[in-house]
Amino acid sequence: MERAIVIAGAGGQGVIFMGEVLACAAMNKGMNVTLFPSYGVEKIGGTSKCTVIISDDLIGSPVTDKIDILIALNQWGLEKFKDKLRKDGIIIYDESIIKKQGQVDDVKLIPIKASDIAITHNSKLGANMVLLGVLCSFTGLFVEEEIFKALSKTTPSHREESIKTNKKLLREGYNILENKKGKDK
């Protein structure tokens, strides 16, 4: 199994942190992983992207032309990378911010009102955690406890107070697809 995941958004949305949590969870599980962050010169508001490749086998390069999963936190992230998805790829996007997803053939679209959910937990910047929970729930890559452990390990000491809220947001992400399934019936 190898999964190439691109997380794309703006500086300040936690794009790189999300990638670090994923990479840490993969390492904790004994998997091979590469983390390749990229961001513009602006600290907040500029472009931000992170490529995470997770595999059971050796990884040849941290750079890839085709991705399996795109997590888009803003319109730029969606537009820039949607055409690089493999057939049957997955796009998980923040529907609170991205109003128009455009045409994408042979791809599973998962719109989540992540920013709206984060705000209900008094977190303006927690959409990344909601989307991370959705990713893990949908793909089965990591169970909640594996992500919680990685979150605790990668959160800087000066942000430890955010762990409790981030765990709630991750749990919301894990549960949201189950809640949607129940409403669709």
pTM: 0.90
Q: How would residue 185 be classed by pLDDT, with cut points 50, 70 and 90? A: very low
Digit-coded pLDDT (tens) for 53-102: 999 988 888 788 889 999 999 999 999 999 999 999 999 999 999 987 66
Mean pLDDT for the chain overall: 89
Rounded mean pLDDT, 169-183: 78
SS3 letters across 77-131: HHHHHHHHEEEEEEEEEECCCCCCCCCCCCEEEEEECHHHHHHHCCCCCCHHHHH
Residue burial 61-80, b: 16+ Cβ < 10 Å; e: rest: eeebeebbbbbbbbbbbbeb
Are 85 and 91 spatial neighbours (Cβ–Cβ below 8 Å)?
yes
Residue 22 clears pLDDT 70, i.e. is over it? yes
In order of their start, the domains of the chain are 2-184 (3.40.920.10)
Rounded mean pLDDT, 134-163: 93
